Amino acid sequence: MAKKFQSRPRCQFCGGENPISDEHVFPKWIGKLLPPAPSERSHVKTSLRRALNPKTRTEITDAIVHRKMAGPAQSRTVRRFCVDCNNGWMGRLEEKAMPVLTPLICGDQPTLSAENLLAIARWAGLKAIVGEYTVEASRCISDSQRDLFFKTQTVSEGWTVELAANAQFSSPKYWHNHWYPATSTFAPFADSTQTTALFIGHLFIYFRSTTALDRSGRVHSYKPFPELTRIWPQPCTEIDWKEQFPTPPWRLEVIADSLRNARVSIDGEALPRR
């Protein structure tokens, strides 16, 4: 019997069949700045599927799946991206972000220019895309959004990136939540919302992406948390980090899990729990 030919796995960015490499959710340079986290708290993965009837505001279905992964978060890798992408444009994006992120992680208080903020936003977008592949069933960022990011390294419409100063030095933690309407014929990435929270030293990054549309047909927005400073879409030209009041870690954990703890309507509106 002739052997079955198996094609090489394709890169999830460029689509090519170049050799696939290991891509770290947290790059190695962050591991040199921070101590490893306790295994039981190092990496949390949460999947959420919920919808509400928009007329009655009653829950149609509520199925929550939690996945907790042991081991240091900085050791988590995915094999979905090729060597050319990893060592090429992804590496260059990492190199631009590293000198900007390092003082924030270490608790320094620099002034961040518009260029610095864009470097952080792009890095956060890359890490959100990469992180979703640790558990592929939880992916919410669409193929078209990922393709646009690959071609332009531009943060898409419906993406927001926010920062906060963590009052307590934290080992690397990656928390992910996602939501999509619970229907009998689920279409992947349709009207989906995901949040990615990165705890890194004294820095907290909160990334949110959605393809859900509001009643007027525009990408659904959400009310920001007062503790967070939005850097994308960019509201200002620079940020003086000295003016950032450090947020207690317990509050950042509440924010990181806010999508999981919210009741979400069919049109993407977040509602408080009763």
Quote the pLDDT of residue 266: 39
Of residues 132 and 49, the one with the higher pLDDT is 132
pLDDT exceeds cutoff 90 at 115 = yes
Residue scoring higher pLDDT (11 or 70) = 11
* H, E, C per residue of 231-267: EECCCCCCEEHHHCCCECHHHHHHHHCCCCCCEECCC
Sign of the C-alpha dihedral, residues 257, 75, 118, 115?
positive
- What pLDDT sits at residue 235? 67
* pLDDT one-digit tens code per residue, 132-144: 888 777 788 888 8
Q: Taking residues 178-198, what's their average pLDDT?
A: 66
More confident residue, 158 or 151: 151
Please name the residue that has the structure tokens 């620099």. Answer: 110
Is it the case that residue 35 has pLDDT exceeding 80? no
Residue 162 has pLDDT above 60, yes or no: yes
What is the rounded end-to-end Cα distance, in angstroms, of the chain? 62
User: What single-letter DSSP state applies at residue 137?
Assistant: G
* Per-residue confidence (pLDDT) for residue 228, from 0 to 100: 94
Q: What pLDDT is recorded for position 4?
A: 53
Burial (CB < 10 A; 0-12, 13-18, 19+), residue 51, is: buried
Average pLDDT over residues 148-176: 90
Nearest to 42 by CA among 132, 130, 131, 173: 173
Give the number of other CB atoms < 10 A from CB of residue 109: 13
Once rounded to an integer, what is the mean pLDDT over residues 48-54? 50
Q: Average pLDDT, stretch 46-65?
A: 48
The full length of the chain comes to 274
Answer yes or no: is pLDDT of 69 > 60. Answer: no
Angle ∠(244,27,76) on CA atoms, nearest 5: 110
- 192 is written with which tokens? 């989906």
pLDDT tens per residue across span 206-244: 999 887 655 444 445 567 799 999 999 876 688 999 999
200 phi and psi angles, rounded to 5 deg: -140, 100
Pairing of strands 43-52, 20-24: unpaired
Concatenate the DSSP letters of all residues of 66-95 into one string: EEEE-S-GGG-EEEEEEHHHHHTHHHHHHH
- The reported pLDDT for the residue numbered 202 is 95
What pLDDT does residue 63 have?
44
% of residues, the chain, pLDDT over 90:
41
Query: How confident is the prediction for the chain on average, in pLDDT?
Result: 78
Task: Please give the backbone phi and psi of residue 178, each rounded to the nearest 5 degrees, phi first.
Answer: -145, 155
